[in-house]
Amino acid sequence: MITAIPTPTNIWKSLMVDDFILRALAAGIGVALIAGPLGCFVVWRRMAYFGDSLAHSALLGIALGLLYGININLGTVIICTLFAFLLVWLQQRRVLATDTLLGILAHAALSIGMVALSFLNNVSFDLYSYLFGDILTVRISDLYWIYGGGLVVIGLLVFNWSSLTLMTLNEDLARAEGVNTVWANILLMLLMTIVVAVSIRIVGILLITSMLIIPAATARQLVSSPENMAIWAAIFGLIAVIAGISGSVEFDTPSGPSIVTAAAVIFALLSTVAAMRRRA
Amino acid sequence: MTDLLSARGVSVYRDGKTILEDVSLSIGEKDFITIIGPNGAGKSMLLKCMMGFYAPSKGEVVRRAGLKIGYVPQRLVADHTVPIRVRRFLTLRKKASRDVLQKVAEETAIEEILEQPIHVLSGGELQRVLLARALLDEPDLLVLDEPAQNLDVTGQLAFYKLIEQIYAERDVSILMVSHDLHLVMSSTREVVCLYHHICCHGEPNMVTRDPEFISLFGNDMARLMAVYNHSHDHDHDHDEGSHPHDHGHSHTHEHLEKLDG
């Protein structure tokens, strides 16, 4: 089983760490590497609330997965994608503001998910672990999802990087220069659904957005190019994940909040340093 | 026809409202056309249709094969959340050699700010950076959407002067939407006055005497523009300037007929 895990974790293995920690670390590292670069676009394009809503709707995906015996990652990707398209369709009708629509859709999906889950009395189900992440639940198959999905996300992001960045700066300019902005917006949403789906085990539904935002916001304080922001966001995410999971194992705390706490501490430290440097 | 870009009978209807009605407009080589009109007249929509952002409800937009358009948007919202320097911004999605970049930077006077992050630039600097980006691929046509709207008067003057200089030095046509009547009237070669349809069309000093222009912008504005052009004519164009009041209307209409025919 362990042979499937990439090299950095083998070092841990030699330190006689349990399998589940290795799996959790591998999963967390994968999530951090994807969420950092994509998180830059979430910060730049102010998609934080969208990400949050998407994550809420994931609970419905989990419910459907459990009810019909579909893989939970797959169920989440399907539901989140439907959610994203429904949102785009409603946005285009321009009857209500986007934040209103997101509020309606997110909470409706969360509630329907909860109602559906309440029908699952006979299945052993720990809601808490889905909301806040639980490293004990990470399986090898989840690693395939994280690294497979991660390759897709990073590949598409790298391939479309200039177009997406230009569109972020000015949508008309991008359109004038031949970027299909409708497609590019859909692409960003689809990439976010993948990140949401693969992050649930580690950080949990309620905290996924922070994995997208906090490392990117931390990176913003250091860099002067969009590419460097993506790289540093991945690095800060990585540090937060390793610190958070280590803490989670050490103190028996839920993994999601532990990782996010670590990320927030890094953010606070760097913000302070940056503020002091600016004053000096 | 060597038209670079033309709208043929373009109409746009949105939410039951007519935004553009049967608008035809052609940009040929070395044309310098400015579209003016009050707020909500459909100027931006016409530009967006001509750029191909929107498909018109009726009519068509014809683009010469291989036409290279440089587009300058109204403004770049310089958002400090996106860390990007001017040089990187200019080369996003563009393959410009160092020499070309240097030449364009000199032309638009942005050499000094190439290494600065875009969010610290002033409004005028940002517009010059956008203009530089539009010029990087040696476009055949520059399309500018109210490019000086967010600048102060000095900034506007300087920006329009720069546009004129580029027009004079490069083999380029210009299509511009503008709000700044007084500045446009002094610099552009041809004005299209738009209010859902094309009200009048011609040289600036003729357009200001057109009854439709007067009804659109009011008598005061028309008189102001006419006075402005009058003095302007004396400097540069003695034939026209000597009898502006007698010839105004008939000239404009002749010109329109020619264009329509």
* pLDDT tens-place values along chain B, 261 residues long: 578 999 999 999 988 889 999 999 999 999 999 998 888 888 889 999 999 988 999 999 999 999 999 999 988 877 889 999 999 999 998 888 889 999 999 999 999 999 999 999 999 999 999 999 999 989 999 999 988 888 888 888 889 889 999 999 999 999 999 877 777 776 667 888 888 888 887 777 777 777 777 777 776 666 666 555 544 444 444 443 334 344 334 334 333 333 333
B83 DSSP 8-state letter: -
Instruction: Give the gap in angstroms from C-alpha B192 to the nearest C-alpha of chain A.
Output: 22
Q: Which CATH superfamily is domain A16-279 in?
A: ABC transporter involved in vitamin B12 uptake, BtuC (1.10.3470.10)
User: For B20-45, how does the pLDDT look when each residue is reduced to its tens digit (9 = 90+)?
Assistant: 999 999 999 999 999 988 888 888 89
Q: Give me the residue from A43, A163, A228 closest to B81, CB to CB.
A: A43
Confidence (pTM)? 0.84
Question: What is the residue-averaged pLDDT of chain A?
Answer: 88
pLDDT at B110: 94
**Residues of chain A with C-beta less than 8 angstroms from the C-beta of B88:** 225-226
The total domain count for chain B is: 1
Q: Using 50, 70 and 90 to split pLDDT, how confident is the model at A245?
A: very high
Q: Give me the residue from A166, A172, A225 closest to B85, CB to CB.
A: A225
pLDDT at B210: 76
Residue bearing tokens 């950095």 = A8
Q: Chain B residues within 8 A (CB-CB) of chain A?
A: 48, 51, 53, 69, 71, 73, 76-77, 79, 81-85, 88-89, 92-93, 117-118, 130, 133, 143, 145
For the sheet with B5-14, list strands across it.
Answer: B17-27, B5-14, B58-63
CATH number at residue B48: 3.40.50.300
Query: Measuring CA to CA, which residue among A23, A36, A25, A6 is closest to residue A191?
Result: A36
Cα torsion angle, A136, A138, A140, A141, sign: positive
Task: For A208-242, give the DSSP string.
Answer: HHHHHHHHHHHHHTT-SSHHHHHHHHHHHHHHHHH
The larger pLDDT score, comparing residue A92 to residue A273, is at A273
B194, part of any domain: yes
A47-51, A179-183, B5-9, B194-198: which range is least confident on average? B194-198
pLDDT at A252: 87
B233, part of any domain: no
pLDDT at A125: 72
- Work out the end-to-end distance of chain B between its first and last CA atoms, rounded to an integer number of angstroms: 14
Q: Chain A residues within 8 A (CB-CB) of chain B?
A: 43-44, 162-163, 165-166, 168-170, 172-173, 175-177, 179, 220, 223-226, 228-229
CB contact under 8 A, B71 and A172: yes
Is the pLDDT at A97 greater than 60, yes or no?
yes
Cα torsion angle, A197, A200, A207, A8, sign: negative
B146, part of any domain: yes
Is the pLDDT at A266 greater than 90, yes or no?
yes
Chain B residue closest in CA terms to A160: B93
Q: Domain locations in chain A?
A: 16-279
Mean pLDDT within A37-56:
93
Angle at A45 between CA A39 and CA A49, to 5 degrees: 75
Q: Using 50, 70 and 90 to split pLDDT, how confident is the model at A216?
A: very high
Map residue B198 onto helix, strand or coil: strand
Map residue A200 onto helix, strand or coil: helix
B253, part of any domain: no
CB contact under 8 A, B77 and A170: yes
Q: Which two tokens stand for residue A131?
A: 């909301």
CB contact at 8 A, A211 and A39:
yes
Chain B residue closest in CA terms to A168: B82
Domain residues for the domain of B152 are: 5-202
CB contact under 8 A, B73 and A173: yes
